[in-house]
Amino acid sequence: MTTIRNWVRKYDIPCERNDKGHFVFHQEALDTLILLKKQNGVLNDEPPTEKEGLPIDEFYSRMDALVDRVDKIDRELKAKADDVVTVQMLQHRREMDELIEKVEHVERKIDRLVSQINQAPEQQEQSTLNEKPKRKRLLHRFGF
């Protein structure tokens, strides 16, 4: 059980529950809970003092060390993210270069085919000019 539920039962603090079962407190009940908090020293929001066991100077030096560690981790994380992006960009560049090479290869093949197609009619015309008409050759065989 939580501290607030214990206090509500122990000190018979008036409260209601909403349709989801959560506590709903009025201002008087909240004031009572805040007073109990101060009396019992529960959920203290202030930094520790020397009488609680940790000297204030040491507390702040530890906090500074933690902040420094968090900053270092943040810098390392950003550097790692930059490295990942760089690797991805290089990979994409390699893939683009491969695709460009394939497109150029296909273009060369198309150029060769077009030149062959353009040469084919010229060759056909020359071969038809060199050939004798078949009709005459056929008639020639029969003696005409």
66-80 pLDDT, tens digit per residue, is 999 999 999 999 999
Sign of CA dihedral 10, 16, 21, 23: negative
Residue bearing the bigger pLDDT, 62 or 3: 62
- Nearest one of 85, 88, 89 to 77, comparing CA atoms: 85
> Hey, is 16 helix, strand or coil?
strand
Give the span between the Cα atoms of 102 and 100, in whole angstroms: 5
The answer to whether 13 and 30 are in contact (CB under 8 A) is: no
Give the pLDDT band (50/70/90) at residue 127.
Answer: low
Give the span between the Cα atoms of 107 and 129, in whole angstroms: 34
Give the pLDDT band (50/70/90) at residue 101.
Answer: very high
Give the pLDDT band (50/70/90) at residue 95.
Answer: very high
Q: Is 15 exposed, middle or buried (0-12, 13-18, 19+ CB in 10 A)?
A: middle
4-41, pLDDT tens digit by residue?
778 788 888 888 888 887 878 788 888 887 887 887 76
**Res 42: pLDDT:** 56
Task: Report the share of the chain in percent with pLDDT over 70.
Answer: 74
Report the alpha-carbon angle 42-46-47, nearest 5.
Answer: 115
